[in-house]
Amino acid sequence: MLSTTLSVSGMTCGHCQAKVEKALRGVDGVFGAEVDLPGGTAQVEAGDGVTNAMLIDAVKRAGYRAAVAAETA
């Protein structure tokens, strides 16, 4: 299992936070996603087949910007 922290920008409200969480949870292989609106981060737990590019793409498709902040196996 992979634990990734993304830096997410462009979020301004609780609706934004929920939209990013939903987008991340919609990626096949993601077990959980928690977004910290004030901190501008998203913590994602996913299976081995999930790539950072897949997570970043999901956030981008939701209308926000993301980059990898940290990753642990």
Give, for all 73 residues of the chain, the pLDDT tens digit. 889 999 999 999 999 999 999 999 999 999 999 999 999 999 999 999 999 999 999 999 999 999 999 888 6
> Which residues fall within 8 angstroms of residue 15, CB to CB, at 6 or more apart?
none
Amino acid making up residue 15: H
pTM attached to this predicted model: 0.93
Q: Which domains does the chain have, with CATH numbers?
A: 2-72 (3.30.70.100)
CB 69 within 8 A of CB 8: no
Please tell me the distance from the alpha carbon of residue 71 to that of residue 73, in angstroms, as a whole number.
Answer: 7
